[in-house]
Amino acid sequence: MLASPTAMAASRFSMDGLIDLVIWLAIAAVVFYLAKWLIAQMELEAPFDKIVKIVVALIVFICVLNALFSGLGSPFIPLR
Q: Where are the domains of the chain?
A: 10-72
CA distance 60 to 31: 8
Cβ pair 71, 21 in contact under 8 A: yes
pLDDT tens track for 42-65? 887 888 888 888 888 888 788 778
pLDDT tens track for 3-14? 555 554 455 556
Q: What is the mean pLDDT of residues 5-29?
A: 68
Q: What is the mean pLDDT of residues 75-80?
A: 65
Q: What is the mean pLDDT of residues 69-79?
A: 68
The rounded mean pLDDT for the chain is: 74
